[in-house]
A and B are shown apart, each in its own frame.
Chain A
């Protein structure tokens, strides 16, 4: 079946540091890939997405590139801020008919210190 594996947290960085959160997936064919973010006390928000190989999703300084050859969708940001502290979830969407649903990784807690 489909699955998503993302790096174990927590990740603690200083402000302006470079961020990478690794995500790899298992799925047949060409799933759509997503990063969602969950700020403290809130629901999930879509951060960025990519729907085909070599697509780059980007939003709020975050980027992720859909790499079919390595089945990866790593999240990066060049300079993190304290306000980026949140839980980040990698997800894939694959399948037709009744199999069409989002499959999430377990989430990575990011804490950014001033």
Chain B
């Protein structure tokens, strides 16, 4: 069974540009979560999608946005990139709805903003 896959593995952008990161969940999982892992800050929750709808959002500015497609894959967009957006972005998936306890994570996409 394929795990959670993320692309690209690495991405280098300059300030002010836009970045798009992609995530494919485990087959059968309908929930997708995005986390930011910045150096020294641990994992910060970004977004949660379930059945195509945004269910919850972390404390991030609106230039962080995303969506979930009908096949449950997801995209994270970061507009007007700033230097402090440099981080590892982790996607996770789970069975849908409340009650699903286990998240399975992908290997992450490392975004570097110069």
Chain A residues within 8 Å of B, Cβ to Cβ: 32, 34, 36, 41-46, 49, 51, 89, 93, 96-107
Contacts and interface: CB of A to CB of B under 8 A. Distances in A.
Interface in B34-79: 35, 40-43, 45, 48, 55-56
B contact patch SS? strand
A103 B45 contact: yes
Contacts of A49: 101-102
Task: Give the size category of B's interface with A.
Answer: 20 to 34
A49 to B, nearest CB: 7
B43 A98 contact: no
A99 B54 CA distance: 12
A52 B84 CA distance: 38
A96 B100 CA distance: 11
Interface string B77-114: 00000000000001010000010011111111000000
B101 A32 contact: yes
Of B4, B103, B106, most A-chain CB atoms within 10 Å: B103
B45 A105 contact: no
Nearest to A99: B56
Given A43-B108, A100-B98, A105-B42, 16 more contacts: A32-B101, A36-B105, A46-B104, A49-B101, A51-B101, A96-B98, A98-B48, A98-B56, A99-B56, A100-B55, A101-B48, A102-B103, A104-B35, A104-B43, A106-B42, A107-B43
